[in-house]
Amino acid sequence: MPLRHLPAHPGGDPDLARLIKTEKEVEGRYTETWIVVEEDALDQWPEGPQSVVGRPAAKIDGYERARGEARYTADVLLPGMLQTALLRSPHARARLRRIDLKRASQAPGVRAVIGPEVQWLTGEPNYEGEPVAAVAADTFAQARDAVALIDVEWEELEPLLDPEEAVRRGSLIGEARKYARGDFERGLAEADVVVEAEYRTQTLNHNPLETNQAVCEWRGDGLDVYLSTQAIWWARNHLAKAFDLPLDKVRVICEYMGGGFGAKDGEGDHMFIAAELARRTGRPVRCAMTRREENIVAGNRNATIQRVVAAARSDGTLTALGGEYWCSLGWEGWLPSTSGPLQLLYDCANVRTTEYPAKLNLPPMAAFRAPGFVEGAWSLECLLDRLAAQLDLDPLELRRRNYANSDTVDGRPYSSKNLMECYRRAEPHWNKRHEVRARSDETWKRGVGMASQIWYGAGGPPSYAWVRLGSDGRVNVVTAMQDIGTGTRTAMAQIAAEELGLPLDRIEVQVGDSARGPYASVSGGSSTLASMGPAVRAAAADAARQLIEIAAQRYDREERLLSLQGGQVVSADGGSWPIEEITGILEDGQILGKGGRGPNPAGMRVLTFGVQVAEVAVDIETGEVVVERIYAVHDVGRIINPLGARSQVEGGIIQALGHTFSEVRLDDPHSGTVLTRTLDAYKLPTIADVPEIECEFVDVPDAHLTNLGSKGLGEPPIIPTAAAIGNAIRDATGAEVTSLPITREEILRALKEAQERERERGAVPA
Ligand code: MOS
């Protein structure tokens, strides 16, 4: 193992902080913020696996989770805790004529009832499931029974459910978003081939295994909140504001969580309602969504209608790309970048997009794993294959010919981009298509399709970590982030172990408590590892530097000759001492390191890239599709834990399979109420749906991105899958599917359309 030089603290005062303005990005939304950064002066580790980083590590809390010992919010049981049930609007749009809470208040076990006059509750709901009244009782059954006793009379109103109608009427959340570069019309005029199509995507629910839930307890003048959340610190801020408390009077705890996928970025009314009921009763109060509530009001990936155009010269050079996007956001929410892939993926001079944020009487959308880009990649990458067919050009070659070498929007250089390498690695899988097609028979047609991935994932400051090194030579990493379930704890432990030259089993990681650690990143926007990893490394390096100073004095060596490896302090001129021998002399003394996340590279665009290739078999008689194999290669900089990373890719692809084939929230087209309320009706993929998945990483550190060179991987794998499958279906059968989910009806419709196209072509003599 090579000696690793720990750089001395860079020039001047080690505590010197810098105030700078930096660009902050979450889910593609950029803002400028002031941050104070400490020097981020550590050299990146060399490319490739190190002692611990870059080597597969099983989850350090895997056994705890598997044995049921890990305490999720769903497991929190406090003495005297009350349970909540909500009266939610049964109508998509209605007005209360009358509400009487009296019978409910007198029901057995009931401790508090609140109605529409209270904030977070309403008498004029604008979507099904909007909370109207809430009951806290000794048991959930009592609370639910009391809700049934609320005397209520509704005046039903006509709901607005159609996104195009909403746009016509001007029912929007904010304004339509327009983007243009170059001259779109001229680009169309210059083209030899123009293709256009309409694509649609469905409303999807996140359905994390642990539903959204909170337990709130007032202690003195402060509020403790156990919350299943992707963003401990956002919840703290929002609660402090709502209850007019100093920020740190609110403590948010999320030790373990059962997934989120974006549904738990925001907190939902249930958290505030639990806090309010706890305030009124003086008791801890739980408010947990049932699976049915989760399927209605926990947020969703909004449905879209996308009309897209692509134009190219006969050599494949794109001359114009355009899109109009109708996004059914529901009653609240924000407009994700559905046009993002079309704007960012290819080098095209003339681009024009319009996105409409339709405000409807439907439950509010929420971020969902690469919001916008999943939908936008579906239309763009399917359209590109149609264009390739028209041009009689290999789809992979078409993508290479329009490769972007700098940011397509403002010309900034990429901090790193290895998409061409992804294409190179995907090529052998892509080239198998002739052989795959040859395995077709009368009924089952086989084919191969590919699609590219682009997304954010830079992470950013502020994010902090502390590292505590004790006399036993063991390390505690302390930071108040949440582990959404991806293995963030494990990755942080690996980074600290690497920096301190210790084996992984000497590292503990404390997360999940805003009162027990410094500010940490949200677990969203593929930002946790990219934000927190560099902070943990900086904190570990701070502790390592102190350890080396102490060792240098103790053993009378020069600091610059000492390094940490294999649990030892090693001197380049001979001699090595176990770390615990040095920390041991401190007895109860501790070495305390702290670190912060450095800024992202100024003037550069940090993005993630990838390619997926799908092999499918289609039964042209029944429309059944079997995905037989998916190859995925992603470029997200340095991989910290190849095992965890692989698991992310598999998870993203499996979730994408649900989005491609089976998952859809169905709404009653007249009443606007949700029909798919349970996991019987809302069909998540199961292991029976999972194909062979082969996954690779480019695994080259981004030289410009902090002390790690790692980008986020949470969202990228779900982005290209549906389009790769759609293109494979086209390759196999000629059927051009346009709507997600790809049902058998959709396949049969597209097959029929393809046959008619063929017949027309055949009818015209060549
Ligand atoms: Mo994300 S969709 O910010 O969890």
Q: Is 266 in the pocket of ligand 1 (CB under 6 A)?
A: no
- Output the CA 264–ligand 1 centroid distance in Å: 8
pLDDT per residue as tens digits for the range 367-394: 999 999 999 999 999 999 999 999 999 9
Nearest in space to 709 (alpha carbons), one of 44, 48, 52, 55:
44
Distance CA 543, CA 634 (A): 33
pTM of the model: 0.96
Closest ligand 1 atom number to CA of residue 366: 2
Q: What digits encode the pLDDT tens for the residues 232-252?
A: 999 999 999 999 999 999 999
Q: Which of 29, 265, 527, 529 to mutate for ligand 1's pocket (most ligand atoms within 8 Å of CB)?
A: 265
Which atom of ligand 1 lies at the shortest distance from residue 527's CA?
A: 3
Going from the Cα of 430 to the center of ligand 1, the distance in angstroms, rounded, reads 31
CB atoms within 10 A of CB 114: 20
Give the total residue count for the chain: 766
Strand partners of residue 592 = 468
pLDDT at 38 (0 to 100): 66
User: CB under 8 Å to 30, separation ≥6 — which residues?
Assistant: 23, 24
3-state secondary structure of 737: coil
Residues 265, 268, 271, 276, CA torsion sign: positive
Task: Give the per-residue pLDDT at 17.
Answer: 64
Interatomic CA distance for residues 604 and 281, integer angstroms: 53
The two structure tokens encoding residue 545 = 């530097």
Q: Which of 29, 713, 715 to mutate to test the pocket of ligand 1 (most atoms within 8 A of CB)?
A: 715
DSSP classification of residue 124? S
Euclidean distance between CA atoms 518 and 233, whole angstroms: 10
Active site residues: 715
Shortest-distance atom of ligand 1 to CA 230: 4
* pLDDT score of 33: 82
Q: Is 25 in the pocket of ligand 1 (CB under 6 A)?
A: no
For ligand 1, the distance from its centroid to the CA atom of residue 545, given in whole angstroms, is: 36
Whether the CB of 208 sits within 6 Å of ligand 1: no
SS3 36: strand
Q: How far apart, in whole angstroms, are the C-alpha atoms of residue 374 and residue 353?
A: 17
Give the residue, by CA position, lying nearest to ligand 1 atom 3.
524
The pLDDT of residue 696 is 98
In whole angstroms, give the CA distance from residue 331 to residue 127: 7
C-alpha 47 to ligand 1 mean position (Å): 29
| Model pLDDT, residue 36 | 82
Output the CA 652–ligand 1 centroid distance in Å.
13
User: Number of H helices and number of E strands within the chain?
Assistant: 19, 29
| Residue 75 pLDDT | 97
Question: Widest CA span of the chain, in angstroms?
Answer: 93
Peptide bond into 341 cis (omega under 30): no
Residues of the chain with pLDDT under 50: 1-14, 766
Helices (H), 616-675: 642-657
Is the beta carbon of 367 within 6 A of some atom in ligand 1? yes
Residue 304 and residue 198 in contact, taking contact as beta carbons nearer than 8 Å: no
- Centre of ligand 1 to C-alpha 499, Å, is 29
The CA 366 to ligand 1 mean position distance, Å, reads 8
Residue 414 phi, psi (nearest 5): -75, 145
Ligand 1 close to Cβ of residue 27 (< 6 A): yes
Euclidean distance between CA atoms 452 and 462, whole angstroms: 31
Q: Which atom of ligand 1 is nearest to the CA of 26?
A: 3
**Does 257 sit in the ligand 1 pocket, CB within 6 Å?**
no
CA pair distance 246, 651, nearest whole angstrom: 39
| pLDDT score recorded for residue 40 | 57
Verify whether ligand 1 is closer than 6 Å to residue 525 (CB atom): yes
Interval between CA 673 and ligand 1 midpoint (Å) = 25
| Pairing mode, strands 507-510 and 562-565 | unpaired
Does 368 sit in the ligand 1 pocket, CB within 6 Å?
yes
Nearest Cα residue to 128 out of 668, 687, 749 = 668
> Is 593 close to ligand 1, i.e. is its CB under 6 Å away?
no
Per-residue pLDDT, 8: 38
Atom in ligand 1 nearest the alpha carbon of residue 368: 2
What kind and span of H or E run contains 554?
helix 528-555
Ligand 1: does its nearest atom lie under 6 Å from the Cβ of 524? yes
Q: Is the CB of 206 under 6 A from ligand 1?
A: no
Q: For residue 710, what are the β-bridge partners?
A: 637
In 3D space, the residue among 539, 689, 575 whose CA is nearest the CA of residue 624 turns out to be: 689
